[in-house]
Amino acid sequence: MQEASLIGAIKIILIILLIYFGIKIIFKWFGPLILKYFMKKLGEKAFQNFNQGENAQSPFQQNRTQQKTKENIGKKKSNSRNENKEVGEYIDFEEIE
């Protein structure tokens, strides 16, 4: 049976701290480069999707356009406005001093 020694525990703690600070330094130096790379790729993908959207309508927009066209075929345009619409009940307020 092995016994835990103080030197072994200190070695483990030092290794953990070394790994922690090593990763922290690496991300401090290379983090902005990694982030810049991913943002560049994301921007290219968004620009590509935007350009595809200008050239063709999405299926949702096509269905919506077809529905509007079908609805408008049988309707007549009415220029007269309905003046007798009741918006709500009028309540007269008085100021209280």
22-73 confidence digits (pLDDT tens): 999 998 999 999 999 999 999 999 988 888 765 555 555 556 666 666 555 5
Return the biggest CA–CA distance within the chain: 98
Query: Is residue 49 a part of any domain in this protein?
Result: yes
Residue 63 CA to residue 42 CA, distance in Å, equals: 29
Counting the structural domains of the chain, the total is 1
Residues ≥6 apart with Cβ < 8 Å to 65:
57
In terms of Cβ atoms closer than 10 Å to its own Cβ (0-12, 13-18, 19+), residue 2 is exposed
- Residue 25 included in any domain: yes
- Structural domain contains residue 12: yes
Residue 68: inside a domain, yes or no? Answer: no
- The CA–CA distances, whole Å, from 61 to 41, 64, 65, 96 equal 27, 5, 6, 55
The pLDDT value recorded for residue 78 is: 55
pTM value? 0.37
Q: Is 74 within a domain? A: no
For residue 35, being part of any structural domain is answered with yes
Q: Considering the domain boundaries, does residue 59 fall inside one?
A: no
The two three-digit tokens of residue 63, written as one number:
């269905």
Length of the chain equals 97
Q: Which residues contact 57 (CB under 8 A, 6 or more apart)?
A: 65
Q: What is the domain range of residue 21?
A: 7-53
